[in-house]
Amino acid sequence: MSERFNQAAERWDKGDMRQNIAHAVFQTIASRISLLNHMSIMDFGAGTGLLSFKIAPMVQNVLGVDLSEKMLEQLHNKNSPCLSVEAVCRNICEEPLDQQFHGIVSSMAIHHVEDMALLFETFHAHLKRDGFIAIADLEAEDGTFHTHGNEGVHHFGFERDTLRETIENAGFEHVRFHHAYTVEKENGNYPIFLVTATKKG
């Protein structure tokens, strides 16, 4: 899977769709969660940093985590003396980081992860007490969203009730779903949700 993303990295930010998704997801996060200047945030599946660089000015630091080295190279190239995002290429489900965060954000990444229970347990372990998650992804769809094919896609979006149960079972509370954006394509419309929750005390 990472090979496909490596090949796509240089042109990833081209066009409006991914830019529009990242903007809408950021706006939805910012309207639901207080992002404060002492916070350390993980962006899971950060890619080229489309979401990371929107959040970074509002918090102390953002760490972008991804499996694609080429995507993270594109992220690194956006760093400047005024604004920067750290990055690490790692599967945190297999190799956890040795730090915890005030919050974990993610945009359009978790459908590429097979084991949802393990993923949210991993998120839980990487959060400080009362830390939050803000995760955006597709509502359940019929497998036609990815026009390049579904290699590396483990979930055709998500049913809210099923995902809620998984998140709660991992040790989160106050699970809330919000509509973030709708991608309009020739073959249909694809709503994107943002789910927020907090780590139990």
Residue 179 has a pLDDT of 97
Per-residue confidence at 158, pLDDT binned at 50, 70, 90? Answer: very high
Map out the domains of the chain as residue ranges.
2-199
Residue 18 has a pLDDT of 85
- pTM of the complete model: 0.92
Q: What angle do CA 66, 9, 122 make, to 5 degrees?
A: 10
Residue 71 has a pLDDT of 87
Residue 8 has a pLDDT of 54
Average pLDDT, the chain: 91
**Kind and range of the H or E element at 136?**
strand 127-138
Per-residue confidence at 187, pLDDT binned at 50, 70, 90? Answer: confident
**More confident call, 20 vs 149:** 20
Residue 94 has pLDDT above 60, yes or no: yes
**More confident call, 142 vs 157:** 157
Contact 45, 70 (CB under 8 A): no
Residue 6 has pLDDT above 70, yes or no: no
Residue 188 has pLDDT above 90, yes or no: no
For residues 150-160, give the mean pLDDT: 82
Contact 196, 178 (CB under 8 A): yes
Contact 54, 29 (CB under 8 A): no
Instruction: Tell me yes or no: is domain 2-199 CATH 3.40.50.150.
Output: yes
Residue 9 has pLDDT above 70, yes or no: no
Residue 80 has pLDDT above 80, yes or no: yes
> Which residue in the block uniquely carries the two structure tokens 């954000």?
105
Residue 164 has a pLDDT of 98
Number of Cα atoms under 13 Å in the Cβ half of residue 13: 16
Task: Give Cα separations from 123 to 65, 110, 116, 148 (angstroms).
Answer: 12, 12, 10, 29
| Span 103-115, pLDDT tens digits | 999 999 999 999 9
Whole-number Å distance between alpha carbons of 135 and 133? 6
